[in-house]
Amino acid sequence: MHVAIAGNIGAGKTTLTKLLAKHYRWEPHYESVEENPYLDDFYGEMERWSFNLQVYFLNSRFRQILEIRESGKNIIQDRTIYEDARIFAPNLHAMGLMPNRDYQNYDSLFDLMERLVTPPDLLIYLRASIPTLVGQIHKRGRDYENSISIDYLSRLNERYEAWITKYKKGKLLIIDVDNLDFVDKQEDLGSIIDRIDAQINGLF
């Protein structure tokens, strides 16, 4: 089984991935943030490094998907390949931070990859307001994220909402995280697990 968690920067994807992996004894697959050679440069000069960064993410996520498919294990994945291609790359292009030819090249590459991509059995979308995202970003204190603007996060949120309303590739669970504390409140994590159980039981 393949479960994936989607959501904006700071929504709590990695944290929830860890907690659910522990609870269900699933194997977690995380976004390669620490090993990413482009992130620091990208947040310092977005236009120069946007294409390089997005291709890195696309490559990394595609490799993950192939590994998940070949492993035959129960996997939980932190962020999906669809978010890179349908949210982050188009957003950079719309903001004038990725040139037309780079975006067209990227989009064509994803269209080719998508033919080989199997969607997750269950997609969990973490919906969060801008204040929640900003609070979480400041809390974790990653230096390269200090320059992320409210405008950038807002544009991403709008694209996430537009994407999730049209998502039809498999089962979908939407969790509003603004009033949840699934790290320190066991009952909040428990309520999420109950909702996941209901979805999973419907898969079989």
Closest by alpha carbon to 79, among 131, 33, 19, 25?
33
pLDDT of residue 31: 78
Residue 195 tokens, joined: 């909702």
Provide the phi-psi class of 17: left if phi over 0, else alpha when psi is between -120 and 50, else beta: alpha
Domain residue extents for the chain: 2-201
pLDDT of residue 40: 85
Closest by alpha carbon to 38, among 90, 84, 96, 82?
84
- Cα–Cα distance for residue pair 62/107, rounded to 1 Å: 14
Closest by alpha carbon to 129, among 80, 180, 57?
180
Mean pLDDT, the chain, rounded, equals 91
**Residue 175: strand pairing partners:** 126
Mean pLDDT highest for which of 56-60, 123-127, 149-153?
A: 123-127
For residue range 127-182, what is the model confidence (pLDDT) as tens digits? Answer: 999 999 988 888 776 666 666 788 889 999 999 999 999 999 999 999 999 999 89
Catalytic residues: 78
Q: What is the pTM of this model?
A: 0.90
Q: What's domain 2-201's superfamily in CATH?
A: P-loop containing nucleotide triphosphate hydrolases (3.40.50.300)
Q: Which run of H or of E encompasses 39?
A: helix 39-44
